[in-house]
């Protein structure tokens, strides 16, 4: 038990005491540390964002991860050290990203889990006390849309232009320009009806263009025509 003199009664000229248990004391210390860490991260990311021209709003995002220019990370999203995120890609709030390579122009929604630690079902205990299963990197191509609440498991490769429907659990590779969904995720349909759009993307190297708007306008005019 811990005893503290916290404040004094002016009339009676005596201190009032508050007694807290060791567990309560440890909780207070932990909370104070978390507050100071969050303040430190806010300061660090304010400077980092200005230097790198990013928009990272989460205090849980690692400064050791790689963020290309104009990357946006929403509040309360965890990003591990072993993550790389490409140009103009964004991750919304409350997501968890680790051991992952993400391409350019990707759209990742909220509450998405990418390459989370997995339980090892081949041991006598599935509990983490018996050890967890080693994960392999997830590779996500360019212009991939991952919708709300998806989970992408270890060693999965998602091709350029793919779309993952909300709530899907992706356990195997997803080819380029396909829409997948379900648990486990499976093929639903092709993203584009015609190969002309895909050819336009490839021929103009769209995913590596910094001034993308001129290409979008040209393609829109072609489609309208």
Active site residues: 119
3-state SS, residue 193: coil
Would you state the structure tokens that stand for residue 67, as one six-digit string? 């963020």
Query: What's the CA gap between 141 and 119, in Å, rounded?
Result: 27
Q: How many residues does the chain have?
A: 225
Phi-psi category of residue 89: left, alpha or beta, with phi > 0 → left and psi -120 to 50 → alpha: beta
d(CA 116, CA 187): 23
The full DSSP string for 209-224 is -S--HHHHHHHHHHHH
12 preceded by cis ω (within 30°)?
A: no
By the 8 A CB rule, do 100 and 138 touch? Answer: yes
CB burial of residue 112 (10 Å; 0-12, 13-18, 19+): buried
Q: Which residues pair with 145 in a beta bridge?
A: 107, 163
Nearest to 85 by CA among 38, 118, 123, 52: 52
């Amino acid at each position: 038990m811990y005893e503290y003199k916290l404040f004094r009664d002016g009339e009676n000229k005596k201190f009032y005491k508050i007694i807290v248990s060791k567990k309560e004391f440890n909780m207070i210390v932990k909370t104070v540390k978390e507050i100071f860490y969050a303040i430190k991260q806010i300061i660090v990311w304010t400077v980092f964002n200005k230097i790198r021209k990013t928009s990272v709003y989460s205090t849980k995002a690692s400064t050791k991860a790689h963020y290309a220019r104009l990357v946006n990370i929403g509040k309360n999203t965890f990003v591990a050290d072993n993550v790389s995120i490409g140009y103009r890609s964004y991750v919304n709030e409350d997501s968890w990203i680790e051991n992952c390579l993400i391409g350019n122009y990707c759209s990742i929604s909220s509450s998405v889990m990418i390459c989370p630690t997995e339980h090892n079902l081949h041991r006598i205990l599935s509990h983490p006390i018996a050890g967890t299963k080693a994960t392999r990197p997830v590779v996500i191509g360019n212009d991939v849309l991952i919708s709300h609440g998806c989970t992408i498991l270890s060693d999965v490769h998602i091709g350029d232009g793919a779309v993952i429907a909300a709530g899907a659990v992706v356990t195997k590779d997803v080819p380029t320009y396909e829409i997948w969904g379900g648990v486990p995720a499976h093929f639903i349909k092709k993203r584009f009806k015609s190969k002309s759009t895909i050819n336009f993307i490839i021929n103009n190297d769209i995913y590596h263009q910094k001034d993308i708007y001129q290409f979008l306008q040209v393609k829109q005019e072609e489609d309208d025509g």
